[in-house]
Amino acid sequence: MTVSGLAALHRRGQLPHHLGVAPEIGPSAEGLSGATTHLAFQAGGPTP
């Protein structure tokens, strides 16, 4: 949930930390990859 929220809100500075610890407490790297791909289409691309 945190990774999805940060990605949707374009919080690039906070993502590396949360992506690093996420597999330790929940989803696998494969699961994060799939969720990120799905989220990219739902939330849209980066904004300036």
pLDDT exceeds cutoff 70 at 18: yes
Domain that holds residue 25: 2-43
**Average pLDDT taken over every residue of the chain:** 81
Is 13 domain-assigned?
yes
Question: How confident is the model over 1-25, as a mean pLDDT?
Answer: 84
Is 48 domain-assigned?
no
22 close to 32: Cβ distance less than 8 angstroms:
yes
Quote the distance between the C-alpha of residue 44 and its chain's center. 13
- Number of domains making up the chain: 1
Query: Which pTM was predicted?
Result: 0.60
Is 15 domain-assigned?
yes
**How many angstroms separate the CA atoms of 44 and 38, rounded?**
10
Which comes out higher in pLDDT, residue 17 or 2?
17
Is 34 domain-assigned?
yes
